[in-house]
Structure 1
Amino acid sequence: MSRRLPVIHSITERAEGPSDRTVEVLDLEFSNGERRRFHRQKPHGHGAVVVVPMLDDETVLLVREYAAGVHRYELGLVKGRIDAGETPAQAADRELKEEAGYGSRRIDVLRAMSLAPTYMSHQSWLVLARDLYPERLPGDEPEELEVVPWKLDELDQLMLREDFSEGRSLAALFIAREWLRNPT
């Protein structure tokens, strides 16, 4: 079913919560005449990248880093923000060098992923990095991250690990695995 997008009558901003994050309040009118106010977090920055670095055709590189939200060390993919003036491919290569100590000669931007599209407009770009070579750039991490090679055909084991819980990393690995099997 195809629906006409709601009409936005106004957008106002306000600070909300203990961190005073900016929230946009949208005054919307739907095609059936109903009006509602929806809230969404105002985006900060230029988005983010989630990088799937392939050491070889079967092995992805994960990083283990401290995750303050769950207060433990967590396995996941290389990820980070896109700086002003960077493309997702450039940000992915920089983050890969900072977090895993590798650069990439072949980068494919596969797609954008949203975190919570009902109330956030933030986008994370899924990037596949291949033809890796050693190169390290200084990053903003307080300690060097452990790099953990993982076979793509063992994702069933990885997805059940307690220390691998970030949804973007899990989704990105399955998408990249399927893309590698059937590149378009």
Structure 2
Amino acid sequence: MRDKPQILGSRIVARSRLFQVEELDLRFANGTEVSYERLRGAGRGSVLVVPMLDADNLLLVREYAAGVHRYELGFPKGLVEPGESPLEAANREMMEEVGYGSRALEYLTSFTVAPGYLEFSTDVVLARELYEQRCPGDEPETIEVVPWRLSQAAELLMREDFTEARSIAALLLVKEKLNHGG
């Protein structure tokens, strides 16, 4: 495995409410020096939850996605609050977004999105043994809950409103896990 580049310096070159743009001065093992920019997050992680009502029925949410200015289908997700574990955050997000809690939460993996530019990861959690429990959330409008059959995953993947990479990867991961006795 290669040695990581040496960080010669770093500075914040822009800030927003959610992100900081950091410029890194790097020296690679071959002596090449370059500057990279990356988006730094707020230091909190995020979770994405795949809620399973039973062995074939999962819950999606349809909510507004400002980045693409349309409504998107995907799995419940959100930031881990200070003092929360990823599993606690997953259960809270489900209660806020789909009106269910879970008695069986299982951490599956962590995803990155555009790791060359974005310092951000999302923990993926499988939620089973659901029970009805609604908690108020911070969404500006009521989120539509859309039940979907896991056995119809191929149809979901072809939809124009199911394009978020983390949700697609989580769907395929859970489908593979459950099809092999997980």
The two structures share one fold, judged by TM-score above 0.5: yes
Aligned to 2:5: 6
- Tell me which moved more, 47-56 or 20-29: 20-29
Deviation digits for residues 79-131 of structure 1, max 9, x if unmatched?
11111111110000000000000000000111111111001111111111110
Aligned to 1:37: 35
Distance in 2 of aligned mates of 1:30 and 1:141: 44
After TM superposition, the runs of 4+ consecutive aligned structure 1 residues lying more than 6 A away are: none
3-state SS, counterpart of residue 117 of structure 1: coil
In the alignment, structure 1 residue 134 sits paired with structure 2 residue 126: no
Q: For 1:3, give the aligned amino acid.
A: R
In the alignment, structure 1 residue 92 sits paired with structure 2 residue 114: no
In the alignment of these two chains, the number of paired residues is 182
Aligned to 2:55: 57
Distance in 1 of aligned mates of 2:35 and 2:7: 10
Structure 2: unaligned runs, 5 residues or longer: none
Deviation digits for residues 129-148 of structure 1, max 9, x if unmatched?
11000000011122222211
In the alignment, structure 1 residue 22 sits paired with structure 2 residue 20: yes
Deviation digits for residues 40-95 of structure 1, max 9, x if unmatched?
11211411111100010111111112223333322111011111111110000000
Distance in 2 of aligned mates of 1:71 and 1:33: 43
Identity %: 49
Structure 1: unaligned runs, 5 residues or longer: none
3-state SS, counterpart of residue 177 of structure 1: helix
Distance in 1 of aligned mates of 2:102 and 2:153: 23
Do the aligned partners of 2:18 and 2:42 also contact (CA within 8 Å) in 1? Answer: no
Please tell me the root mean square deviation across aligned C-alpha atoms, in Å: 1.8
Aligned to 2:116: 118
3-state SS, counterpart of residue 33 of structure 1: coil
Deviation digits for residues 162-184 of structure 1, max 9, x if unmatched?
11111111111111222223467
- Give the TM-score, by structure 2 length: 0.92
